[in-house]
Amino acid sequence: MSAESQQSSGESATTRRRVLSTLAAVGIGSVAFQRAAAVQAETSSAATVESIKNAEWISGITLSDEQRETAVNAINGVFSKRDQMRAVKVRYDTLPAIRFDPEIGVPGIQQSSLDHPDYLSSAGAPAAIAENADDVSFLTIRQLGKLLRDGKLTAVELAKQTIDRLRVANESLNCVVNFTEELALKQAAVADRELSEGKDRGPLHGIPWGAKDLIAVKGYPTTWGAPQFQNQVLPRTATVAKKLEQAGTVLVAKMSLGALAMGDKWFGGQTRNPWNPQQGSSGSSAGSASAVAAGLLPFALGSETLGSIVSPCKRCGVTGLRPTFGRVSRKDCMALSWTMDKIGPIARSVDDCGIVFNAIHGADDGDPTSVSRWFNWPMKLDLSQVKIGRIEGRRTSTADEATLAFLEELGADIVPIALPSEFPEWAISIMLDVEAATVFHDITAANNTEGLNQWPDIFRKSHFLPAIDYLHASRLRTRLIEHMADVFQQVDLYVGGDDLGTCNLTGHPTIVLPTVMSDSKSHAQPICSTLTSQLYNEATLLAVANLLESRAGISEIRPSPE
């Protein structure tokens, strides 16, 4: 089938659905008649009395002349509005004239630049222990920074080593979509010159990183993991990448993601878990988590709409921060859900995540949902003043139980709480499906959906969901936000909770970090815990996680797959 035929087929199906909805709304005829009229309409540019009569014959009913005229006018009204809208083309990055606000159910949550919890205070940066410059694979950002500033390693040397390691490991892990070597060497040379001249941009100066390949970088492909966009080169660089460049970082590669941010399968194959290369890395921040876990990158950026940072970090045993919705700009990053997408760091330590988040958070004119809220790092805290929730009525993993035990030993106040259970969060998440189907309507209409994992079925079925149900889901979402606000009247954060659906809908931040080792004899690896906090309270989340990381004592264990 040609592309033109595919597009015609998709548009005909859309017309059929709209006619069905219109006829049902005005109450004309039986369901069988409405379907028959819709089939007639999809092959015509206008409805006629004759086409209505044909639909009557097919469905076995008879309408009056007045009902026929009403049906003709209703269907042609659909065609007119459809044609007017289709005449105006929009880009993939065009935002809708609505935006999600996670503060809607939490009056007064806004924080000034000076507001922060009383139990938090500024902490000096952890000492960076000098390491062997010949083996930089698993060093932290601060350790690498010390080597750079002591002259034991240059940013150019570090960039080249990083790219070389990625090239070798990529043969088995399949974690890189495209290298950005020319840009990396240019940025690294600038970092070396500036550091030699005494211009220090901070802890990220000269540090290599990888960008999930839905983050646009001018001059390089941004493929979204999908064959339909494999050769797409966008004309701008995303705000998050610009912020990291301003911090002195060196971008070495665009990392794999499942097609259109689903899973770990993309047009180049499946990305692998370095602890067990027979297993996928999960997704959709598949390459970011895999490469960081393997010691190939100090950090990478991922994104999450419904688990795409949390899931691969758990699978690959690394630390990941899913920030509060709106804390990091998504300008020039692929849109999947305007009301749920979030960008966050993936690293091997909590401190590294804090360093990166400190560089990328804040409001951006290019993303109207983005906000500026108080944050500082590093921070220390008085754990005895922190109330931490233990979720009742939900499964608690071994890692989460160990985390609660660690925190209690360290002096935290553990409080039993219940998360809202009366709201069907996975039903409410149809909002994601509808928004994604809207973003990618053009390829669905053209039936150009090969290689997109489960998205084609989701896109097609989402066309049948009435606007009323989308807006009803949005209202239920508001109630869910209000109930979660009640939870955080009781605690500062909680552990576990099986809350992936709930907190991606409400916009709350979560950190994932390895806390125990699995007892698998074939592929032992770190098992992660999750901690979730009040909106915009990433500082507390990171400070608690930093204590946990020290207590768990497994951050030095490295992958050794058979």
What amino acid positions are annotated as catalytic residues?
A: 212, 284, 308
Minimal CA–CA distance to 293: which of 306, 269, 277, 270?
277
What is the largest distance, in Å, between two alpha-carbon atoms of the chain? 90
CA gyration radius, the chain: 26
From residue 503, alpha-carbon distances to 194, 343, 431 in Å are: 42, 15, 14
Q: Quick check: 448 and 460 in contact, CB under 8 A?
A: no
Which residue, chain included where needed, has tokens 């949902």?
369
Q: What would the two tokens of residue 445 be?
A: 């209409």
DSSP sequence for 203-245: TTTT-EEEEETTB--TTSB--TT-GGGTT-B-SS--HHHHHHH
Residue for token pair 């490991």: 169
Cβ–Cβ under 8 Å, residues 249 and 202: no
Give the CA dihedral 209, 212, 218, 221, nearest 10 degrees.
120
As a dihedral over the C-alpha atoms of residue 199, residue 204, residue 206, residue 210, rounded to 10 degrees, the angle is -150
Distance CA 380, CA 358 (A): 15
- Could you tell me the end-to-end alpha-carbon distance of the chain, in angstroms, rounded to an integer? 46
The set of long-range contacts for 481-487, using a CB threshold of 8 Å and a minimum separation of 24, is 481/102, 481/104, 481/105, 481/106, 481/505, 481/506, 481/507, 482/105, 482/106, 483/420, 483/423, 484/105, 484/419, 484/420, 484/508, 485/105, 485/106, 487/389, 487/417, 487/418, 487/419, 487/420
β-pairing, 387-391 vs 493-495, is parallel
Distance, CA of 263 to CA of 498 (rounded, Å): 19
Phi, psi of 266 (to 5 degrees): -130, -175
Fill in the amino acid letter for 60: G
